[in-house]
Amino acid sequence: MPIEVEHLTHTYLPGSPFSSTAIHDLSLTIEDGEFIGVLGHTGSGKTTFVQHLNGLLKPTEGRVIVDGVDITRKGVSLLDVRRKVGLVFQYPEYQLFEETVAKDVAFGPKNIGLSKTEIDERVRWALEQVELDFGEVAGVSPFELSGGQMRRVAIAGVLAMKPKTLILDEPTAGLDPRGRRAILAMIRRLHAENSMTVIMVSHNMDDIGPLATRLLVMNRGELVMEGTPREVFRRHDEMLAIGLGVPRGAELLYRLRQEGYPLPDDLYTLPEVRDALLSLYASKGDASAARTQAADSASPKEATPDA
Amino acid sequence: MDCIQPIETQGATYRYEEDGQQAVDHVSLSIPKGSMIAVLGHNGSGKSTLAKLMNALYLPTEGRVLVCGLDTALEENLWDVRRHAGMVFQNPDNQIVATVVREDVAFGLENLGVPQPEMLPRIDEALLAVRMTEYAAAAPHMLSGGQKQRVAVAGVLAMQPDVMILDEATAMLDPSGREEVFSTVRKLNREKSITVVWITHFMEEAALCDRVLVLHHGAIAMDGTPREVFSQVDELKKLGLDVPPMAELAEMLRQGGLSLPAGILTVDDMVKELKACL
């Protein structure tokens, strides 16, 4: 079920003095099973872009084709589109409204007229997917849960529609480190185990780098870079120029290359950066070992040789 | 009035329910004038409760909290405490009250009964300090998150506090918004000697403060300079916190046989140290 975007343009408040083009002539195809990271500065159009993929926004120009169906045409059943493409907004926990967790998660399946048994099954399945214990939370008010748990309930509500594609807009925003790591691990598992296509909007390079199979980088409403994380993160200067950074590991190797050290330009995770640095260290042999000794005994500042 | 000791807590304890757990558990700490202290801890560790004790939004159920020497538990001190210690919260949309930026900054001053002729220069000065002068007549809803938070900071600043307490003020912002709010507050701290309590989940912000306090189950688990705290990689992880990526990499490299000194936090630090041994 590929998603094809053809010449998508979106203008907010067209014809008014506040008219602004959020997306300009964007074309791309998302294949089944991809894990797409959408990066961009605030105002780059990334949220506007993903809101077109389930028909929440209609393009001013261009088309979005999901599973062979042009969802921008008049008369298309948006309910069908939403069953295929689930969208988790930023701070989705603000949209919880039901008395109990189970009712909240059941809201979508109920709306598409599923049987009671089917709804029950889906609620159990969805809560299991987000690693919440059905017995523990089903009857509880969602508002009694912690922020991280509330966010899981909101994600479960979208999963209960059994979408083939899951879009998450800044799913870790505002969470503490523990909550952030847990949500990321959960998304990774959803992608791996359910062969779901995942599209995740983020401005955290360290979050998205290890997860995404492909990155889309947006700037001022245009798709300015596209490729694997490795391909994108090696374009250090361009990323900086549009107000984004690269993961710290990539930044470090970049800086060391500037200092003349022969280090590769396509690494970014900490383990691979460590390996590259250790092998460079090993290749330096005895001379540098002696220098390290000196560095050990002297204060760091004094031991720094002039570059 | 001169404020010599901006914040002092003496065994401060807070329980939400009478028989419940202590959200803040016998915390004794003193924050020297002009310093910027980061408070870290996972959700539920008591960070926000401690913050609210610092400007009398909560009163300690045990122990004492002194703001510029004033006991927050005494009702007659309430207004003075709030004037000395201003607070900025997480959600930029929940703390803007007026429809024009300038009026929003005026809100606190009006509440304090500051006469109008004195109010105007204080508002202008506050907006200038957060670099929002050109938006004085703008509608807050047209601003970015970072700009809204700077307006909130200006609102507190106009009240000329000795202490500013920011409770995850950057949590909902993008990286550039975070940087603009953090550096604005850091500058106010340095140039106007305002004492700052900076509550955050972002280790890289904490790394730039003078002192880092880690809370766990309502008690102080770690307290020291950023270098002291962030060199304890395992301990931080045990407490559910992140370690700045370069501190983590330094640890990995040490285990791989490289001898690197303690206290590497930033890419700059790492480049410097690696140049010494590569």
- What per-residue confidence (pLDDT) applies to A295? 55
The pTM for the full model equals 0.85
Closest CA to B186 of B268, B127, B129, B265: B129
- What per-residue confidence (pLDDT) applies to B141? 86
| Beta carbons of A129 and A88 less than 8 angstroms apart | no
The answer to whether the CB atoms of A307 and B241 lie below 8 A apart is: no
The answer to whether the CB atoms of B145 and A146 lie below 8 A apart is: no
3-state secondary structure of A95: helix
Distance, C-alpha B42 to centroid of its chain: 15
The answer to whether the CB atoms of B272 and A273 lie below 8 A apart is: no
- What per-residue confidence (pLDDT) applies to A147? 84
Question: Which among B43, B176, B273 has the least Cβ separation from residue A41?
Answer: B176
Question: Which among A176, A278, A292 has the least Cβ separation from residue B201?
Answer: A176
Query: What residues of chain B, 247 to 276, have a C-beta less than 8 Å from chain A?
Result: 248-249, 252-253, 256-259, 261, 267, 270-276
Q: Could you please report the per-residue DSSP string of B46-104?
A: SHHHHHHHHTTSS--SEEEEEETTEETTSGGGHHHHHHHEEEE-S-GGGS--SSSHHHH
The Cα B107–Cα B97 span in angstroms is 8
Min Cα distance A172 → chain B (Å) is 10
- What per-residue confidence (pLDDT) applies to A296? 57
pLDDT by position in tens, chain A (length 307): 799 999 999 999 888 888 889 999 999 999 999 999 999 988 899 999 999 999 999 999 999 999 999 999 988 988 889 899 999 999 999 999 999 999 999 999 999 899 999 999 999 999 999 999 999 999 999 999 988 899 999 999 999 999 999 999 999 988 888 889 999 999 999 999 988 999 999 988 888 999 999 999 999 999 999 999 999 999 999 999 998 889 999 999 999 999 999 999 999 999 999 999 999 999 886 555 555 555 555 544 444 444 3
The answer to whether the CB atoms of B272 and A300 lie below 8 A apart is: yes
Cβ-Cβ contacts under 8 Å between A and B: the total is: 110
The answer to whether the CB atoms of B271 and A243 lie below 8 A apart is: no
The Cα A264–Cα A246 span in angstroms is 15
Instruction: Return mean pLDDT, chain B.
Output: 92
Is the pLDDT reported for residue B35 higher than 90?
A: yes
Residues of A in contact with B172 (CB under 8 A): 173-174
Sign of the four-CA dihedral A245, A41, B155, B199 = negative
The answer to whether the CB atoms of A295 and B277 lie below 8 A apart is: yes
The mean-pLDDT minimum among A140-144, A210-214, B40-44, B192-196 falls in B40-44
Tell me which chain A residue has its CA closest to the CA of residue B251: A274
Query: What residues of chain B, 151 to 170, have a C-beta less than 8 Å from chain A?
Result: 168
The answer to whether the CB atoms of B270 and A252 lie below 8 A apart is: yes
Ordered by where they begin, the domains of chain B are 7-243 (3.40.50.300)
Query: What residues of chain B, 117 to 146, have a C-beta less than 8 Å from chain A?
Result: 144-145
**pLDDT tens for each residue of B227-266:** 999 989 889 989 989 888 899 999 999 999 999 998 899 9
DSSP A130: T
Q: Count Cβ atoms below 10 Å from residue A280 Cβ, excluding itself.
A: 17
